[in-house]
Structure 1
Amino acid sequence: MAQIHSNMSNVLQRNNNIDNVENELCEIKQVWSHNLEAEFRTIRNLVPNFRFIAMETTFPGFVARPIGEFRSTSEYKYQVLQCNVNLLKIMQLGLTFFDENGEKPTGQYSTWQFNFKFDLCKDMYAQDAIDLLLESGVKFSKHNEIGIDVDDFVELFISSGMVLCDNVQWISFDCSSNFGYLLKIITATNLPHEDEHFFELLRIYFPTFYDIKHLTLSCKNLKQSLREVAEQLHLTSSGAQCHAGSNSSLAGSVFFKIREEFFDGD
C-alpha cells in the first residue's frame, strides 16, 4: 500500500485535468449513483426484446500471482483470477443490448456504463492499470464522490430480468474476469477456491453465455485481443479502449460479425 499513497497526489492531479471521453455523444449512457434507478427502469423495458447482452468490465489491474504447484495451466489461470478478483473492486460495467439479428435499439441508448465507487486512497490497484485509465479519461474523483454502491446495483440487477434467465444470452470477450467480478458482487462473497465451483455459480446466474475469445479459436487467422479482432473484421469503436461501455458495444458487434462470417449466422 506504500506505493499507492506515495503516488496519490500525482494521480489525483492528473485525474482532475482529464475529461471523460465516454459521453452521451458516443451513444453510451453514463450511470452514477444519482441515476441508477431510472436507468434500470429503462433497461427492464428493453430486455424482453433485446436478449443478447454484451458485457465488459473495467477493473484496477492485477496485483497478485499465486505460488505453489498447479495441476494444469487452466488451474493456475483460475487461481490468478480468483486471488485478484477477491482483492480488488470492480470499477465499471458496460452493457450493450442487441436483438437476435444483432440490431441495437433505435431512438434510444443501447449501451450503459455503470461507474462504481472507487477510492484511490483506500482501494487496492496496480499502478500500470491506473495510468492507462487516467490516459483514457477516467475521472477517479467522480468515482469516489458519486460512484455506485455495489449493494444498490445488485439489488436492481437481480430484479432486472437479466440474470437467472435461460432466454437471456450473454456475450463477453475472455469472460472469466468479467463474470468473476459480477459473481463476486452478486453473491457478496469471494470467488470459490476451485474453478468447478466457479462455473457452477456462473451457470446458475448466467445460464447462457458466449466467450468471443473461445469462438476465435475456431476461426482461421483471427487474433487474440478484442481490438485486434475488431480491426480484422473492419469494425470500429466509438469510445475509449479502457472503458467498459465502449468495449461492451464493440464485443457485441464482433460477436455478431463472427457469427455471420464464420458460423453462417447460427
Structure 2
Amino acid sequence: MADVLIIDVWADNVHEEFSRIRDVVHRYPYIAFDTEFSGFVNPSDSRAGARIYNGHIKANVVSLKLIQVGLTFFDEFGNSGIDFEKNHTKGVTSQTLADSLTFARLVSNPAVHWVTFHGTYDMSYLAKPLNGCTLLPDPLSTFLSMVNRIFPNFYDAKHMVHHHYIWTGGLSKLARDMGVQSSALDMHQAGADSVVTVKAFVILKKRVIKRVCVGECNRLLYGL
C-alpha cells in the first residue's frame, strides 16, 4: 500500500468531499479513523476497570471538544481510496460531520467496517453527535449498544494485538513493530494517524484474523 494524499476538508468543501466519499464507499468499505481532541479534564486509565474507565471517557467527551477527524478509506486488501482530514476550528461543526457521515451512508451500515486504534475516545466523540445527544448514556451496556448500532462492524487494532500477542504500546510502536513504512509515521495528526492505522491493520489482518474467528475481534474496544 503506497502513501496516499491527505485531502483537507473545510466548511467550504465538506459537501463536495462527502459526495465523493458516498460514490466510492462501496469499493472501499473499510474506514480507518482517528480523532484529535483538546486534552483531558479527568485522567483515564484502562487498568482501572471497564466501568470506571468508561466513566472517565464519558466525562472527558462531554466536557471537551473534537478538534480534528481523519478518515482513510480502503478495501480488504489495503488498497486506499480517499484519505480525508477535517479541522473543527475551520468551521465544520460536529453536527455537520455527523450529518455528512450519515449522508454518505457510512454509519449504521453493516457493509462498512470501521478500524481504529485504542478507539474508545474516537468512537465516543463520533457517537455523541451521531446519536444527537450532549451526554453519553449509562450504564456501560447501554453505551456499547449505542456504539454497536452506529458502527455495526468495527475493529480496534490495539485490542487485536493486545489480545493475541499480549502487546502494549502506542500506534507508532505498533506500526514499527509490524514493519509499516510510511511518511505519516512522524506526523501525528488525525489524517496521518488514520493512514498508519490502515497499514498496521492490514498486516494484523493477515497475521491474526486469518488464524482466528473474525467474531473474536469484531465490535470489541480496548479497555472495555
Answer whether TM exceeds 0.5 for this pair. Answer: yes
Alignment partner of 1:215 is 2:185:
no
Offset at 1:242? 3.0
- C-alpha distance in 2 between matches for 1:103 and 1:166: 20
Q: 1:65 to 1:264 in 2, by over 3 A?
A: closer
Of residues 35, 48, 60 in structure 1, which corresponds to 2:26? 48
Structure 2: unaligned runs, 5 residues or longer = 215-224
Q: Contact (CA 8 Å) 1:65, 1:83: kept in 2 or not?
A: no
Corresponding residue to 1:113 among 69, 85, 96: 85
Rounded to whole Å, the distance in 1 between the matches of 2:177 and 2:207 is 12
1:51-62 equivalence runs, <5 A: 51-62=29-40
The alignment partner of 1:257 has SS state of helix
Match of 2:8, SS state, is strand
Give the secondary structure class of the aligned counterpart of 2:66. coil
Residues in 2 aligned to 1:264 and 1:203: alpha-carbon distance in whole angstroms: 23
Secondary structure in structure 2 of the residue aligned to 1:97:
strand
Query: Which residues of structure 1 form unaligned runs of 5+?
Result: 1-24, 67-71, 117-142
SS in 2 for 1:191: coil
Note the C-alpha offset of 1:41. 0.9
Identity %: 27
**CA deviation after TM superposition for structure 1 residue 221, in Å:** 6.3
Q: Which of the numbers 109, 112, 117 marks the counterpart of 1:168?
A: 112
Query: In structure 2, what is the Cα distance between the partners aligned to 1:43 and 1:149?
Result: 18
Higher-Rg structure is: 1
CA shift, 1:197, in A, is: 1.1
Structure 1 residues 256 and 174, CA, compared in 2 at 3 Å: closer, same or farther?
Answer: same
More strand by share: 2
Counterpart of 2:179 in structure 1 is: 234
In the superposition, the TM-score normalised over structure 1's length comes to 0.72
The count of residues paired between Structure 1 and Structure 2 equals 205
Larger CA deviation: 37-46 vs 96-105: 96-105
RMSD: 2.0
- How far apart are the structure 2 equivalents of 1:237 and 1:246? 9
Q: Does 1:259 align with 2:205?
A: yes
User: What is the deviation of 1:74?
Assistant: 1.1
What residue number does 2:221 align with?
none
TM-score normalised by structure 2 residue count: 0.85
Q: Deviations over 1:154-173 (max 9, x none)?
A: 22211211111111011000
Paired amino acid for 1:234 = G
Shift of residue 261, structure 1, vs aligned partner: 2.4
SS at match of 1:91: strand
Partner SS state of residue 210, structure 2: coil
In the alignment, does 2:102 pair up with 1:158?
yes
User: 1:264: how far off?
Assistant: 3.3
Matched letter for residue 61 of structure 2: V
In structure 2, how many angstroms separate the alpha carbons of the residues matched to 1:188 and 1:91? Answer: 18
